[in-house]
Amino acid sequence: MAGTIDNTRNFERSLLARAIDEQIRHTPDDTFTRTLLGGTTDAPQLAKTLGAHTVTLAKSMRFGVLRLSVGDVIMAEGKALRVVACMMSDFTCCVLVSVYDFLRQSGAGMLWKHINTNACFTLESGEFVVPSYWAVQSDGLLLTLLDE
């Protein structure tokens, strides 16, 4: 079959399209869902505070191919955000987070200092990064490493 191909540009495009189509057909249906996982708790007082109709909390959630759980770290808007709770607010995926300010570079990592602020971060914005490694050090500073 390869001997009869005289236009490799179309062949490569066709082969790549077939490979992508095959991969999508074999991807489980729930791979791209956005849902809370495990036990959930309704939080009507938090809903009132946020101006939402409903708020449901959980310890973890699936947001597309990403799974977030309590204690995980995401980085957005120049801050490090440590997940306190996963939340569905009026069908919007959010996380309640503790906020950390950038302190300094430390080798290949970044150090962050907790600023005693909690916030609600909407994952739907898509403007966040998950560091490949994080740890809270004995001095309370958060260390993050990113793949570059």
**Domain layout of the chain by residue ranges:** 30-145
Quick one: CA dihedral 122, 128, 134, 135, positive or negative?
negative
Is residue 8's pLDDT more than 80?
no
pLDDT confidence of 87, banded at 50, 70, 90? very high
Under a CB-based contact definition with an 8 Å cutoff, are residues 61 and 37 in contact? Answer: yes
Q: Of residues 24 and 2, which shows the higher confidence score?
A: 24
Structure token digits, residue 146: 């990113």
User: pLDDT averaged over the chain?
Assistant: 86
